[in-house]
Structure 1
Amino acid sequence: MVDIYLQNKELCRIRAITAFTVLPNDETQWQQVLANAKSQCDHVAEVLIKQGYIVQSIRIVSNPFGEYLDCQSTKSAALGLEKIRNILNQLNQNGLRIRFAIGEAKTAHEIALLPDLIAEYGDLCNACVNIPSDENGFLDNELIELSVKIVEKIAQITPRGEGNFNFTVNFNCQSFIPYFPASYHNGECGNCLVLGLETPDLLAAALHKCRLPKNYASKMQAAFVAMRDALQFHVQQIQEIIQSITLDDDWKYIGMDTSAAPSKNCTSMTELYQLLGVPHFGASGTVEVSSLLTRVFKSLENTQMLGFSGLMLAVTEDKGLAAATCEGQFDIRSLLTYSSVCGIGLDTVPIEGDTPLDKIAAIMRDTGTMAFRLNKPLTVRLFPVPNLKAGEMTAFESSDLCNCAVLSVP
């Protein structure tokens, strides 16, 4: 039986109710398609909120934008996005934050459009590039190099380089990730809903409530069980609520991403490491605890897990990780090592603004190699920060980002 305190629904927030839908190239149909997606999300959000859960955002993910935007030029594509923005603004009457992903960029021409579109539309223009691997395990380096140039340009044309918050490079990532900007949709399952959670507060509370034995092996086992049981309780509650909701006939709920999804407004994941005896994130023992936490997210029963469903280490979205950069407690190579046992890769990592493009491409190839070799989804979302060197502090203004020390790419 889970402790009554851990049953507090405020400890387990719904980070995202994410709708995956298909926009046709006939823009006269966009209003209906987006309104339908938004209404499904609103309905689910309303029921969850009535049951005591906090819903933070509604997200809509489209098929690849080259299928419905006029991509002849940046201007023509922007005209389409302007119409989508107007539709979403008109639909967003309940005050919940709404975000939109335009899907994956599939060609060199589409990739080249992204910097200007992201600079103009930001939160309504999340996008990704999926890097394939061939039968011999070699990554598509041409596509990687194109993506690196986009990262560089976004850094140059958006204030403080923050536009790279809306762009990521995916390796071995399947569709139906509910978190942005790795989300994409090919329409293979029709209209779907996926949930993403925010649970660091719950996991920390579970460890505080659990009387951990002094024996090391027993302590780790007890910590695992305490976190898993607390998370299992809420996942089961949420799924029962979802199953009680009647969606429109052409919509279905297909699962959730069980990742903790930290943010600057909840417990830092670094606190969990300290509660488990690691002096600080980055110290010896970090790999072991990272692996333990990932097992927690992947051990849930009777759950259709999608997306990452693993440990997320998002440097500028987690206040503890951001603070740790100032103390020099980890570097990019450490993050890459931890990615071998966790879930997301190099996420929201600020790097020197003048980092050579070949170095960025190389670290992407390292990440991609791990993703395919270990058969796990990993992403790279780097923030080259103009005019800053390693160790200097960022001055981000986005409400999503913590300020931290810039890291170097070795």
Structure 2
Amino acid sequence: MRKALLTLSFAALACAAGSVRPAGAAEVRPRIRAVTAFIEIDQNNYASRIEEAQKFLASAKDALNKAGFEGAGGRITTQPFPQYTKGMKAEDAVAFVGKLREAASKGPSGLNIGAAMVHDNDDTAPVSLLVEILSKVSVNANLITADEQGIHWKAIRQAAKVIKQLSERSPHGDANFNFGAIAMMKPYGPYYPGSYHLGKGRAFAIAMEGAEVVGEVFRQHQDPVEAEKHLSETLTSYTKQVELVAMQLARTTGWTYEGIDATPAPIGDRSIATAIESFIGAPFGSPGTETASGIITRAVQATPVKRTGYSGLMIPVMEDNVLAKRWAEGTFTLDSILAYSAVCAGGVDTVPLPGDVTEDQIARILGDVAWLAYRWNKPLAARLLPAPGKRAGEQTEFTGSVLTRTTIQPLPGSKKN
């Protein structure tokens, strides 16, 4: 009898640990972070092109919401801004981008003006212009620091200059939230600020948001093989559903579908750190975090849909409430994030830095990210946020609505006081 009871007990535990959802439990579905429309504009047609994009984005949101996917806010990415500001005086270029922002806000839509430098031998004048733009207009932009030809060392130095100057010229250094130094990133990624394209426009891509989906799987499966298997199956199911909607949109509108980025991006309490902690049974940054990072990335990249963007794992320190808490506690560091980036895709995102960080130190961080991306041929980005007037050990005071306050940590290798 005792043996029978033990057998039944173990069977009950096995069922509880399985992938079957308890009766009455709500399905945990991914949200759509954004649908990003890629357009080509000039000084004469920008208003009509933005309006056309917004009509498409409204239809995309409606279709995705009806298919059971919440969110799907609209974003617009233009071709690289040096193409349509060439020959303008700096003040006129800033004013023109302001007009683009005003037109996009009627949607309302986010706006990304693309890359200041695509190749390492590009003119650096647009970089100085970008500092002017980002310090005065709420748009996103980026700069490419590595591609298949190699690492862009000149671009890395220019990106470091942008980051340092924006920290000095925008309130609280907030403008750096809208700038990314991107390495090995292909066109048509839907996530900001690393989104860009070099084509003729009328294209779109979809960014999914699934940290809670990962958490649901990891709470049920801590065996690495089983966790990867079930996460792959779950993400495959949802991405295929989204792709069906995307392909129907492409057929009915004439816009070109460029793919899905199913990176399970977190936001606030929808935490990727919480998901990973369910798997490892310890704070984020503990042993096993690298394994969890690899499992998530392999599962995302196993989805049989057209993939774009990062398609891996993001670790945005200040966009995830639990990541921000663990960063303050010191359970992971800048070096930890670089280590995790070896098995995932994403990079160094919303990392707060001491306000006195130098341009050279920023360039070295960007160089590390670019090397890692180039060596392993994977898309990585750096979004670094120096905190003006703040030192290691002090709290951040960035005013962005999605940024959680945390403690500024010293740079790796810094001597303790």
Partner of 2:386: 384
The answer on 1:289 being equivalent to 2:292 is yes
Which of 134, 137, 140 aligns to 2:152? It is: 140
Partner SS for 2:239? helix
Return closer, same or farther for 1:247/1:58 CA change in 2, 3 Å cut-off: farther
The answer on 1:17 being equivalent to 2:40 is no
Q: Return the alpha-carbon distance in structure 1 between the equivalents of residues 361 and 313 of structure 2.
A: 26
**How big is each residue's C-alpha offset from its partner over 1:125-172, in whole Å with a ceiling of 9 and x where there is no partner?**
21001124685x5x3322211211110111111121111010011111
Which of 254, 258, 261 aligns to 1:257? It is: 261
Which of 186, 189, 197 aligns to 2:208? It is: 197
Aligned pairs for 1:259-274 (under 5 A) are 259-266=263-270, 268-274=271-277
Q: Return the alpha-carbon distance in structure 2 between the equivalents of residues 355 and 127 of structure 1.
A: 22
Letter aligned with residue 52 of structure 2: N
Q: Tell me the CA shift for residue 4 of structure 1.
A: 6.1
Partner of 1:72: 88
Which of 105, 108, 116 aligns to 1:105? It is: 116
Return closer, same or farther for 1:49/1:105 CA change in 2, 3 Å cut-off: same
Q: Tell me the CA shift for residue 82 of structure 1.
A: 2.3
Q: Tell me the CA shift for residue 265 of structure 1.
A: 4.3
Contact 1:9 1:52 (8 Å CA) reproduced: no
Contact 1:15 1:56 (8 Å CA) reproduced: yes
Partner SS for 2:137? helix
Q: Return the alpha-carbon distance in structure 1 between the equivalents of residues 67 and 152 of structure 2.
A: 47
Partner of 2:142: 128
Q: Return the alpha-carbon distance in structure 1 between the equivalents of residues 264 and 52 of structure 2.
A: 29
The farther-off stretch of 356-365 and 244-253 is 244-253
Q: Tell me the CA shift for residue 119 of structure 1.
A: 2.1
Which of 190, 203, 212 aligns to 1:178? It is: 190
**How big is each residue's C-alpha offset from its partner over 1:263-317, in whole Å with a ceiling of 9 and x where there is no partner?**
1141x1112222112411111222111111111111112x001110001111111
Which of 146, 162, 172 aligns to 1:150? It is: 162
The farther-off stretch of 191-200 and 125-134 is 125-134
Partner of 2:9: none
Q: Return the alpha-carbon distance in structure 2 between the equivalents of residues 17 and 246 of structure 1.
A: 13
Aligned pairs for 1:9-408 (under 5 A) are 11-24=29-42, 27-69=43-85, 72-90=88-106, 92=107, 97-106=108-117, 107-122=123-138, 125-132=139-146, 137=150, 139-187=151-199, 190-208=201-219, 210=220, 212=221, 219-245=223-249, 250-266=254-270, 268-301=271-304, 303-408=305-410
Q: Return the alpha-carbon distance in structure 1 between the equivalents of residues 253 and 60 of structure 2.
A: 15
Contact 2:39 2:79 (8 Å CA) reproduced: yes
Q: Return the alpha-carbon distance in structure 1 between the equivalents of residues 67 and 90 of structure 2.
A: 44
Q: Tell me the CA shift for residue 246 of structure 1.
A: 5.5
Contact 1:351 1:407 (8 Å CA) reproduced: yes
Q: Return the alpha-carbon distance in structure 1 between the equivalents of residues 250 and 373 of structure 2.
A: 37
Return closer, same or farther for 1:43/1:353 CA change in 2, 3 Å cut-off: same
Partner SS for 1:347? strand
The farther-off stretch of 289-298 and 233-242 is 233-242
Return closer, same or farther for 1:232/1:403 CA change in 2, 3 Å cut-off: same
Contact 1:332 1:408 (8 Å CA) reproduced: no
Partner SS for 2:249? coil
Q: Return the alpha-carbon distance in structure 2 between the equivalents of residues 58 and 174 of structure 1.
A: 20
The farther-off stretch of 140-149 and 334-343 is 140-149
Q: Return the alpha-carbon distance in structure 2 between the equivalents of residues 89 and 328 of structure 1.
A: 39
Letter aligned with residue 50 of structure 1: K
Letter aligned with residue 302 of structure 2: S
Q: Return the alpha-carbon distance in structure 2 between the equivalents of residues 11 and 196 of structure 1.
A: 14
Q: Return the alpha-carbon distance in structure 2 between the equivalents of residues 262 and 133 of structure 1.
A: 27
Q: Return the alpha-carbon distance in structure 1 between the equivalents of residues 148 and 196 of structure 2.
A: 21
Q: Return the alpha-carbon distance in structure 2 between the equivalents of residues 294 and 276 of structure 1.
A: 15
Partner SS for 1:390? coil
Return closer, same or farther for 1:141/1:254 CA change in 2, 3 Å cut-off: closer
Q: Return the alpha-carbon distance in structure 1 between the equivalents of residues 401 and 301 of structure 2.
A: 30
Return closer, same or farther for 1:252/1:326 CA change in 2, 3 Å cut-off: same
Structure 1 segments unaligned to the other structure (5+ residues)? 214-218
Q: Tell me the CA shift for residue 200 of structure 1.
A: 0.7
Partner of 2:415: none
Letter aligned with residue 260 of structure 1: P
Q: Tell me the CA shift for residue 7 of structure 1.
A: 10
Contact 1:70 1:76 (8 Å CA) reproduced: no
Return closer, same or farther for 1:246/1:220 CA change in 2, 3 Å cut-off: closer
Q: Return the alpha-carbon distance in structure 2 between the equivalents of residues 64 and 234 of structure 1.
A: 32
User: Size of the alignment, in residue pairs?
Assistant: 389
Structure 2 segments unaligned to the other structure (5+ residues)? 1-17, 118-122, 413-417
TM-score, with length taken from structure 2: 0.88
Q: Tell me the CA shift for residue 81 of structure 1.
A: 1.4
Q: Return the alpha-carbon distance in structure 2 between the equivalents of residues 117 and 23 of structure 1.
A: 18
